[in-house]
Amino acid sequence: MDKKVLAIDFGASSGRAVIGHFDGERITLEEIHRFSNDPVNLGGTLYWDFLRLFHEVKQSLLKSKQYGQVDSLGVDTWGVDFGLIDKNGRLIENPVHYRDSRTKGMMEDAFALIPKDSFYAATGNQFMEINTAFQLMSVQKNRPELLEQADKLLMMPDLFNFFLTGEKVTEQSIASTTQLYDQSGRCWAYRVAERLGIRESLFTNIVPAGTKIGTLSHDIRKELDVRDMDVIAVCGHDTQSAMAAVPAPNGDFAFLSCGTWSLLGTELDEPLTDENARINGLTNEVGFGGKISFLKNIIGLWLLQESRRQWSREGREVTFADMEKMAAEAEPFRSYIDPDDPRFVSAGDIPERVRDFCADSGQPVPETDGQLLRCIYQSLALKYRQAVEGLESCTGRRFNAIYMIGGGIRDKLLCKLTANACKRRVIAGPVEATALGNIAVQLIASGDIADISQARQIITASENVEVYEPDSPMQWEKAYEDFKLIIGGK
């Protein structure tokens, strides 16, 4: 048996199309297309270049032709962003990037309408300015004409699915990133939306991951001369696709998905939206099979990616391997930042902001690139420690190991420092967790794999993992105490 399906995975800085081959026992991956995802600042607004991204979907379909029969396709993307569609099915304007400054102050406006605690109890999402609810409030306030013109709101993966099939639906995992989703009732949080002034009719029906949305539209097939294939709603949220591929036998694990963002969490049967969860800044999202991913969003490798871009803007090209080496060779435990400080969210001169943070908090200011990078790495690792402790305090569980997945685990220094800072074994792999999870859900939808636990067993058998054991516990304990003093109880 050689069953083939196509996963298209869009990250915030790059995307890829991967053919998953399934022989009945193992999944093997073949990357057929890779492209960068370059947001465009136009007239002061930061947009995703949707047309370019859809072009890459077409390129992926064209390249898939040489593999013969590919039965289905699934798209996953980053969370929270959306496009607005008018009643004729036209995209009203390019989707705006969650890092655009349009959401400044929107959270405070929202809390004046809905108190924080009931807002959290109703939606279960960690409050972040980037969330769909706050983006929509900004549109409502500053560009109301767009919402007047809009017939439907489609989240990014659903937007791709719509232009592939003509069907307008919202996949459940991506709906659950909006702060407009009722995690307990498993439906849109209409009352929250109404309070915020967001029209109910914008929303489309929610379907669970594993649903067949439709098939490639006639127009696409004709234009590209491709065979028909099913379009499956996989976990449209990349984080949940990655979760589906954690190589652990049961749900009792802590995972750390490492890409532009770091997502640290575990899997639960039911949402947890109590006071402790809210204070710890934990979010509830729906994963495959209706499981809840209970996790914390941490700014992640963005700090390294954007530092590298800044250096490139200044005419200095460094690779990630160079950066890892510089950090590894630099003096440890010199200074710390709070990676989640709001000053680090927007694009720009991250190195300068790191130096400012250190100066503002009375610490030695990094003088070399190595010191600066070391500061970022060790602060991220210690932030993970804080997040895993928060997770344990909320769930009453104890996690002896952390499963690290995603592209960030190519960075061995990060894996090693995470094991040390968290004082836990790190099991790293697979790198391509998101594509694997996307593929696994398509194979579950077609009936070739029975369920998620079989999928995880198959992935465990198909992929190699690397294990990092913690060391230097005393030094890291002291570092953690220093780190907490500097960043406060956040």
H/E element, 83: strand 82-85
Residue 465's SS3 state is coil
Rounded distance, CA 163 to CA 89, Å? Answer: 9
294 is an interface residue for ligand LRH by CB under 6 A:
no
Nearest approach, Cβ of 293 to ligand LRH (angstroms)?
Answer: 9
238 is an interface residue for ligand LRH by CB under 6 A:
yes
DSSP letter string over 293-312?
A: EEEEEE-TTHHHHHHHHHHH
The CB density around residue 291, as the number of other CB atoms within 10 Å, is 18
297 is an interface residue for ligand LRH by CB under 6 A:
yes
Residue 10 or 480: the one with the smaller Cβ distance to ligand LRH is 10
The CB density around residue 188, as the number of other CB atoms within 10 Å, is 21
Buried b or exposed e, range 458-474, using 16+ CB within 10 angstroms: bbbebbeeeebebeeee
* Cα 218 off chain centre by: 32
The CB density around residue 126, as the number of other CB atoms within 10 Å, is 19
Q: Which of 73, 229, 234, 263 binds ligand LRH (CB under 6 A)?
A: 263
The CB density around residue 271, as the number of other CB atoms within 10 Å, is 22
The CB density around residue 284, as the number of other CB atoms within 10 Å, is 24
Nearest approach, Cβ of 144 to ligand LRH (angstroms)?
Answer: 25
Task: Choose the binding region for ligand LRH from 57-65, 76-84, 303-311, 337-345 (rule: CB under 6 A).
Answer: 76-84
95 is an interface residue for ligand LRH by CB under 6 A:
no
Residue 331's SS3 state is coil
Residue 78 or 483: the one with the smaller Cβ distance to ligand LRH is 78
Residue 263 or 337: the one with the smaller Cβ distance to ligand LRH is 263
Q: What are phi and psi of 332, to 5 degrees?
A: -80, 165
Tokens at 490, concatenated: 């956040």
Tokens at 164, concatenated: 């592939």
Task: Choose the binding region for ligand LRH from 221-229, 231-239, 317-325, 459-467 (rule: CB under 6 A).
Answer: 231-239
Residue 261 or 344: the one with the smaller Cβ distance to ligand LRH is 261
Q: Which of 120, 203, 261, 288 binds ligand LRH (CB under 6 A)?
A: 261
80 is an interface residue for ligand LRH by CB under 6 A:
yes
Query: How many residues of this chain bind ligand LRH (CB under 6 A)?
Result: 16
Residue facing ligand LRH at closest CB distance: 79
298 is an interface residue for ligand LRH by CB under 6 A:
no
177 is an interface residue for ligand LRH by CB under 6 A:
yes
378 is an interface residue for ligand LRH by CB under 6 A:
no
User: Which has the closest alpha carbon to 186: 215, 163, 166, 209?
Assistant: 209
Rounded distance, CA 297 to CA 377, Å? Answer: 16
135 is an interface residue for ligand LRH by CB under 6 A:
no
Q: Which of 9, 71, 76, 238 does the annotation list as catalytic?
A: 238
Task: Choose the binding region for ligand LRH from 74-82, 286-294, 350-358, 453-461 (rule: CB under 6 A).
Answer: 74-82
79 is an interface residue for ligand LRH by CB under 6 A:
yes
In the residue annotation, 49 being an active-site residue is answered as no
User: Which has the closest alpha carbon to 126: 390, 323, 485, 469?
Assistant: 390
39 is an interface residue for ligand LRH by CB under 6 A:
no
Please list the active-site residues. 238
Question: Using CB under 6 A as the criterion, which residues of the chain lie in contact with ligand LRH when the complex forms?
Answer: 11-12, 78-80, 98, 130, 177, 237-239, 259-261, 263, 297
